[in-house]
Structure 1
Amino acid sequence: MQVNGTAYRSIWLEDEGRSTRIIDQTLLPFQFQTTRLTRAGDAVAAIADM
């Protein structure tokens, strides 16, 4: 996905290697926001809310 000329993947590993960042697809197409997932529970909640 491209936003303001920057290409984004829907999910990616953060540079520090300890967390994952996702595009919050529940807000599209009206708002673009990313969410940092640091625990397994964060990922479970993100999947459940999709």
Structure 2
Amino acid sequence: MTFQLPDPTTPFGERVARRLREERLIWFTTVDAKGMPQPTPIWFLWDETT
């Protein structure tokens, strides 16, 4: 499986890159057995070298 970020020269790609650099909290959301979302805040640090 490969992953590629959006083109950083586009407005959307710029927003994605900025958020990855600056945000420290992300929301990981799963769905329980009843179909209800279960959001969980998670600390996050983007490492551009990996």
Larger Cα-atom Rg: 2
TM-score normalised by length of structure 2: 0.30
